[in-house]
């Protein structure tokens, strides 16, 4: 990977508002614009931490990307929360826009414990 490619990846993560601070993943999409969210339903394709191709149905008013091979879905909302969808089928809700250190470490280690992250937000439009 060239230096420019790395720079573009880091720049895009910044635009998406994904930051790592003191071992915690934080979402603060102040540079994200409303025009980046889907206007129609779409299918998001990605490769999970086991290398398998997977899909997620996205609704209008959402967008998706991966971080550490885990899909992150942004949904427009007046709420400010994160829903962690776990491998055991459960969902854990985090108020605000920061994962705790333990959840962040699971993400960094690509353990497969977190299968999807849904962030409810109102970006800086």
Residues in the chain: 125
Q: Which residue has the higher pLDDT, 9 or 48?
A: 48
Mean pLDDT of the chain: 87
Q: Cα 41 from chain centroid?
A: 18
Angle at 114 between CA 112 and CA 116, to 5 degrees: 115
Global confidence as pTM: 0.86
Residue 4 φ then ψ, to 5°: -65, -40
């Amino acid at each position: 990977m060239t230096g420019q490619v790395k720079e573009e990846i880091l720049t895009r993560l910044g635009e998406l508002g994904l930051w790592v601070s003191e071992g915690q993943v934080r979402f603060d999409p102040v540079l994200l614009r409303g025009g980046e969210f889907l206007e129609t339903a779409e299918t998001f394709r990605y490769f999970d931490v086991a290398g398998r191709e997977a899909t997620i149905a996205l609704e209008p008013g959402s967008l998706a990307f991966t971080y550490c091979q885990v899909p992150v879905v942004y949904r427009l909302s007046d709420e400010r929360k994160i829903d962690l969808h776990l491998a055991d089928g459960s969902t854990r809700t985090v108020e605000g826009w920061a994962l705790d250190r333990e959840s962040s470490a699971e993400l960094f280690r690509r353990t497969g414990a977190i299968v999807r992250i849904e962030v409810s937000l109102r970006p800086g439009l």
